[in-house]
A and B are shown apart, each in its own frame.
Chain A
Amino acid sequence: MLDLVWLIPALPLAGFLVLMALGRRLGEPRAGWIATALCGGSFVATVIVWAGLLGESEEQRSFVQTLFSWIPVGDLQVDIGFLVDPLSITMALFVTGVGALIHLYAIGYMHADRDFTKFFVYLNLFVFSMLMLVLGSNMLVTFIGWEGVGACSYFLISFWFTDEANASAGKKAFVTNRIGDWGFLLAIFLAFASLGTIDYDGVNAGVGALPAVTASAIGLLLFVGAVGKSAQIPLYIWLPDAMAGPTPVSALIHAATMVTGGVYLMTRVNPILAAGYGWVPDVIAWVGVLTALVAATIAVAQNDIKKVLAYSTVSQLGYMFLAVGVGAYVAAVFHMVTHAFFKALLFLGAGSVIHGMHDEQDMRRMGGLRRYMPITCVTFIVGWLCISGVPPFSGFFSKDEILLYAWGSGGTQGKALWAIGLVTALLTAFYMSRQVFLVFFGEPRWKDDHALVGADGSLPAGVTDEDAETSGGAARGEEAATATDATSAAAAHAADDHLEPHESPWQMTLPLVVLAVLAATAELLNLPFNPNLHVLQHWLEPVVGANEAHIDVTTGTKVALGVIATIAAAGGIFGAWLVYLRHRLRAIEPAVLAHAWYYDESVTRFVGGPGTRGFAAVAWFDAHVIDGAVNGVATLVRTSGRGLRTVQTGFVRSYALGISAGVVVVLGYFLTRLYF
């Protein structure tokens, strides 16, 4: 059954090719159904391979299928091959499973879009690339997938490219990812130069014999790649902007699958991290935990429903890198799986809300939606409880496991990592509750065309103080002056019943329900209470077992940590309830957080100012020194040619004279050689 592994990526590839050729003729919705069916078929194939893998004994659970030799050049032997082991199959299962659900969802979401078929072409290509990334048996095949998902991400972020902002968001993602790809490529080169192979089996087996400095360099360069793809500090800026793409894309690529590629890569090469210096994992842990904290603070002050989730994704990915850094690979994969479920659920829920609200994304214009979109609301609440870390939902167990390992990694550093992670957990609960309260609870605010500022100059009931603050006091005066106009306009809009939110079609709600069930039950993968319940840990043992951290923490401490985390989650939810539902407290949403710590602006300023000057200098160097050298050679050739041309007189006898003179000179040379 393991031989069927080639089917897993082949089916989405077939879907891509079929839709490329026949997509326009098939049209809506058949193209969508074909794409969904092939992605679902890929999921079935994965399940079959998984069953085959379960049938093997634990030591035998690593299987490489080589399709063909791709680059046989001297010592460099690169095959197109697939590596089947517990880690890659775990990834492939949720990539294809969640992918199929999101395909189904997209049939509803992309309804009546001009480029309906093109969307599914890209989506299938993405799934294919992601599976190449996951299943590749060597770094280069993974890199193909890595670049493939990057390209698909670019296509899909700027899917509605007629809008300038979407197009530049796509470019931003692409360019930022290139920086990471640079690191990944160098790591591949270095691995080949030092080990003579880029197969994961060979690298992971041979890296132990390398000097620590080489192993550290390979590990850190791979981490640079992971930082780019998984949106960590300092390269996280592309992910929030990537929300310009259609919501199914945000759910599939920018929450569930592609962005976890970096975590997957670090887990895959865990022997490299183990062979390097001890501070390499520390760097990863600190980058992860700081990303988690910074992104969570930013998410607190965002008003776009998808931006909140985007920063939340960055933050959760930070947790996963924290787990990788402290050697908790199982926890990283566990959180990756649960996150894939609940974050895909949240994104799809947000998409359902946006769909139902007729493309409204500002949470300040929502509110009270639970009455209009019951299924979306209930499933979203499940996702909210998961991500907030409320027991017994999955997020609590996976996040808590990471925090536990951070604590258990020992020393002041471990405590510090744990403390920052805990603060992040509190913030997570807070901003997610804020979102749920603003969107689904409170008073409906969409009917009022001036929901941000009341038509009569006063704040409407459901709008909190900070909303007025952000829209500015000056605007309020203006609004009051034109109160009559505004009132009539609002009335006109209220009468216009197409603004009424509505529940989404079944293609959209079915994936929500399935994902909600999965998110609510994913903790069964790795329950902490009894060693027999560590299913995921046993399953991943052959891949990460050798380098998994072993922590020495008493049961009492574990329980205490769990209780503290629960209190933090409850505190965050309670705080949000006070602020956004009861309006007992003023919301703290300073501009610095709304502007994401001005990091984006700083990058823009830097690139616009010194950066541009720097690149202008480089351009000058290129134009004058590099091109100058090239042009100089050309000029030299041209002038000397012009000089030599005069020798060519066209008189045959002068050529003959030249030849004769040459003969005399050569003869003279040899004669002198002979006699002197």
Chain B
Amino acid sequence: MIAALEVTPAWYLVLGALLFSIGAFGLLVRRNPLVMFMCVELMLNAVTLTFVTFSRMLQDTGGQSTVVFVLVVAAAEVVVGLAIIVALLRRRPHATADDAALLEG
């Protein structure tokens, strides 16, 4: 039964969309900075998955090479983001994202 199911690219697209939605939803409803950060990463990876899928579907390596770039940027982004979050939580161990609202207009 399971073996009969053929895995089509559409599955991957649906998975990417699901992951993206979960990430976006989590970003909106959670207040813990670390969790929010993980949600962002989830969205990012959902998009890279979609890139790879389309690359495969269209037989175009452009999508895959974009993914390499995204991974590099994501690595850098993680360094900066985690550093900020660690610094924040060191000063105020139970801080939420809403507490860091000093930059309001």
Contacts and interface: CB of A to CB of B under 8 A. Distances in A.
Contacts of A645: 105
Interface in B1-57: 24, 27-28, 31, 36
B28 A651 contact: no
Interface in A611-660: 644-653, 656-657, 660
A644 B104 CA distance: 11
B104 A652 contact: no
B58 interface: no
B31 A653 contact: yes
A649 B101 contact: yes
Given A652-B36, A653-B31, A660 B24 contact: yes
Contact of B104 (A649, A653, A656, A657): A649
Contacts of B36: 652-653
B103 interface: yes
Nearest to B31: A653
B31 A650 contact: no
B27 A650 contact: no
B98 A651 contact: yes
A650 B28 contact: no
B28 A648 contact: no
Contacts, number: 35
Contacts of B104: 648-650
Contacts of B103: 648, 650
Nearest to A657: B28
B42 to A, nearest CB: 13
A649 B101 CA distance: 7
Nearest to B104: A650
B100 interface: yes
B28 A660 contact: yes
B76 interface: no
B79 interface: no
Contacts of B24: 656, 660
B98 to A, nearest CB: 5
Given A645-B105, A651-B97, 13 more contacts: A646-B105, A650-B102, A650-B104, A651-B98, A651-B101, A652-B98, A652-B100, A653-B31, A653-B36, A656-B27, A656-B28, A660-B24, A660-B28
Contacts of A651: 97-98, 101
Q: Which of B24, B36, B98, B105 lies at the interface centre, i.e. has the most chain A CB atoms within 10 A of its CB? A: B105
Interface in B79-103: 97-98, 100-103
Nearest to B98: A651
Nearest to B24: A660
B105 A647 contact: yes
Contacts of A647: 105
A399 to B, nearest CB: 82
A652 B30 CA distance: 11
Contacts of A650: 100-105
Interface residues of A, number: 13
A653 B101 contact: no
Nearest to A645: B105
Nearest to B29: A653
Nearest to A656: B27
Contact of A653 (B28, B102, B105): B28
Contacts of B28: 653, 656-657, 660
A650 B96 CA distance: 13
Sorted from nearest, which 4 A-B pairs have the closest CB atoms?
Answer: A648-B105, A650-B101, A650-B104, A645-B105
A281 B60 CA distance: 81
Q: Which of A645, A648, A653, A660 lies at the interface centre, i.e. has the most chain B CB atoms within 10 A of its CB? A: A653
B97 to A, nearest CB: 5
A660 B98 CA distance: 18
A190 B68 CA distance: 63
A653 B27 CA distance: 7
14 contacts: A648-B103, A648-B105, A649-B105, A650-B100, A650-B101, A651-B98, A651-B101, A652-B36, A652-B98, A653-B31, A653-B36, A656-B24, A656-B28, A660-B28
A193 B16 CA distance: 66
A656 B100 CA distance: 15
Contacts of B105: 644-650
A660 to B, nearest CB: 6
B23 to A, nearest CB: 10
A651 B27 CA distance: 12
B33 to A, nearest CB: 8
Nearest to B97: A652
Contacts of B101: 649-651
Contacts of B98: 651-653
A658 to B, nearest CB: 11
Interface string A349-365: 00000000000000000
A660 B28 CA distance: 9
B71 to A, nearest CB: 22
A650 B98 CA distance: 8
A285 to B, nearest CB: 73
A656 B27 CA distance: 7
Nearest to A647: B105
A1 B1 CA distance: 110
A651 B96 CA distance: 10
Nearest to B103: A650
Contacts of A649: 101, 104-105
Contacts of A656: 24, 27-28
A641 B27 CA distance: 28
A21 B21 CA distance: 79
B37 to A, nearest CB: 10
Contacts of A660: 24, 28
Contacts of A646: 105
A653 B97 CA distance: 8
A625 to B, nearest CB: 33
B40 to A, nearest CB: 9
A431 B27 CA distance: 101
Contacts of A657: 28
A647 B104 CA distance: 8
A637 to B, nearest CB: 15
B47 to A, nearest CB: 12
A654 to B, nearest CB: 9
A650 B101 CA distance: 4
Nearest to A641: B105
Interface in A649-675: 649-653, 656-657, 660
A279 B97 CA distance: 85
A649 B97 CA distance: 12
Contacts of B27: 653, 656
Nearest to A649: B104
B12 to A, nearest CB: 20
Interface string A524-565: 000000000000000000000000000000000000000000
A657 B97 CA distance: 14
A175 B35 CA distance: 75
A646 B105 CA distance: 6
Contacts of B102: 650
A652 B103 CA distance: 10
B21 to A, nearest CB: 10
A314 B82 CA distance: 87
A649 B99 CA distance: 11
